[in-house]
Amino acid sequence: DLHSFPTRRSSDLPGLAKKLKTGKKYQFRVRAFAKSGSKTVYGSWSKVAVATPKLDSTKIKKAKAKSKRRILLLWKKIAGATGYKIYISKHKNRGYKVAASVKKGKLVKYVLGKRAKGKYFIKIRAFIKQGGKTIYSGYSNIKSVKLRK
């Protein structure tokens, strides 16, 4: 379904984009216009373009060792996220497992429970639950933490 929106300036597009739902497919088409006095001349319509807004990726701000071999994580909040999945591995490019699932989208701090000594690599991704489906963002940057003691 194509919906008509009132004439928009290109500077209005970011505001329109904020109203779109993540994971829902939208169809767009545009056309140029020029005003000359009281007369408006329109160009032809573009071909229909299809787009599906995606959830932004988060960024890990801090990952550090805490007492008793725990790991403190702080990350950037993603607007619209209903939660985050935290992944951990002993290797930077493989072997990641879900270490925790944070069900609150507003939470941006988490402490991972006790781990054995060693170096760990951590990444996070946001998710949103919509109509019974879970839609994931891309992965965050990877941070490493070395646990001692």
The pTM (predicted TM-score) of the whole model is 0.74
Q: Which whole number is the average pLDDT over 28-47? A: 87
Other C-beta atoms lying within 10 Å of the C-beta of residue 9 = 6
pLDDT above 70 (res 9) = no
Q: How confident is the model at residue 69 (pLDDT cuts 50, 70, 90)?
A: confident
Other C-beta atoms lying within 10 Å of the C-beta of residue 111 = 10
Q: Distance (Å, rounded) from C-alpha 61 to C-alpha 77?
A: 10
Q: Distance (Å, rounded) from C-alpha 55 to C-alpha 69?
A: 32
Q: How far is CA 122 from the centre of its chain?
A: 17
pLDDT of residue 92: 95
Give 30 or 127, the one with higher predicted confidence: 127
pLDDT per residue as tens digits for the range 116-132: 999 999 999 999 988 88
pLDDT of residue 7: 59
Lowest mean pLDDT among 17-21, 88-92, 93-97: 17-21
pLDDT per residue as tens digits for the range 41-53: 889 988 988 888 8
